[in-house]
Structure 1
Amino acid sequence: MMSGTLVNTPNRFGLITRLLHWATAIAVLGLLVLGTYIARMQVNLSNLWLFGLHKSIGVTALLLTLLRIAWHIWTPPPPPLPDARWRIALARAVHRAIYALLLLTPIFGWAASSATGLDVVVFNRWTLPAMAPVSEAWETALFLIHRVLATTLAVLIVVHVAGALTRRDGTLWRMIWGRPVPPHGA
């Protein structure tokens, strides 16, 4: 039955959940690398496209996150596998913080870009409305907040990945393949 593999069940992450997770992960890793690179650049005509690419991927990551939240409301993820209470609570707190940062980081980036006076154009096609007044003070403050949020997100991603890699209960296997880890020897 196809729908059983697309949606979450009490024991499995569905295909759509896994695709949204990994698409978001790829987008965010690309954003962190590109953001670190362009943060050291002076904006000019020869590199403006890199800033536009960063904004476009950022808006994509924001939309993926909104879609993930809606999807989780419609088809809740399976409960965590049995573990120590502190570890489950920590994982839940890290997940919630990551989701908050996946929303706030691009929103503050969008607002900071708006404060520069340059349009936020997504994939050279859609111009987004400005979110902040054109102001050097606003630009400085908003880009600082954007960088702090992005750095915090990067740290939490490391914690998230470390948690997934150190668990021996099949949690990572469930997020990759959707089902519990196969029995030994299978």
Structure 2
Amino acid sequence: MSLWNTEDRFGLVTRVLHWVMALGVIGMLGFGTYIANMTVNMSNFHLYAWHKSIGLTLLLLALVRIVWHLGSRVPKSLPAPKWQEALARVVHFGLFLLLLAVPLTGWIASAATGIDVVFWGVTLPSIAPASEAWEDAFFAAHGVLTKLLLAAIVLHIAGAVKRRDGTLRRMVRGQA
């Protein structure tokens, strides 16, 4: 079992990053929906801190994944109609953009509240001015982008399941 991708299979690093990110992002979509519907008080404030720390961890993993993707060989695609290949490229690009944009808008919105953003116990520098306008705008953007991310995930899963040509097996076992 190789750590590295080859021309016809995904390596262990790619697969682990993919599945850790997949589980983390899907979990965060549920967790974020849950806390978005709560009334903020001192008894549940820690949940927001966990959401921020997990979200920023996923941002770091997304950056690692992008660097890994750019620096490693990508296995050749399995044969498919041109429109499916094009749609897959658009959805993958959109997923990568959203994996960056969702946590960044959340971080900016959180910083705009004027409350420190703490990442697993470490206070991060503020990346936005304390501003109700910024807070409202970036939390709204965060909400819209999470819905777009969910739509992209559904398309991604549907495409992988529909193909039935070994695409999903390659991401699970490394080869079709």
TM range (shorter): over 0.9
Q: Report deviation, 1:76.
A: 2.6
Paired with 1:104 and 1:154, the residues of 2 have a C-alpha distance of 13
| Counterpart residue number, 1:42 | 39
Question: SS of 2:172's equivalent?
Answer: helix
Paired with 1:161 and 1:83, the residues of 2 have a C-alpha distance of 16
Gaps of 5+ in 1: 181-186
| Counterpart residue number, 1:80 | 77
Mapping 1:51-70, distance limit 5 Å: 51-70=48-67
Q: Report deviation, 1:43.
A: 1.4
After the TM superposition, which segments of 4 or more aligned residues of structure 1 sit over 4 Å from their partners?
A: none
Mapping 1:33-182, distance limit 5 Å: 33-123=30-120, 125-180=121-176
Paired with 1:139 and 1:101, the residues of 2 have a C-alpha distance of 19
Q: 1:25 aligns with which of 15, 22, 25?
A: 22
Paired with 2:107 and 2:6, the residues of 1 have a C-alpha distance of 36
Q: Report deviation, 1:94.
A: 0.1
Paired with 1:136 and 1:41, the residues of 2 have a C-alpha distance of 20
Q: Quote the sequence identity (%).
A: 55
Q: Report deviation, 1:90.
A: 0.2
Paired with 1:73 and 1:135, the residues of 2 have a C-alpha distance of 37
Q: Report how many residues are paired.
A: 176
TM-score (normalised: structure 1): 0.92
Q: Report deviation, 1:30.
A: 1.2
| Counterpart residue number, 1:184 | none
Paired with 1:74 and 1:19, the residues of 2 have a C-alpha distance of 16
Q: Report deviation, 1:42.
A: 1.8
Q: Report deviation, 1:115.
A: 0.5
Q: Deviations over 1:12-33 (max 9, x none)?
A: 0000000000011111011100
TM-score (normalised: structure 2): 0.97
Question: SS of 1:143's equivalent?
Answer: helix
Gaps of 5+ in 2: none
Q: Which amino acid aligns with 2:69?
A: H
Give the root-mean-square deviation of aligned CA atoms.
0.9
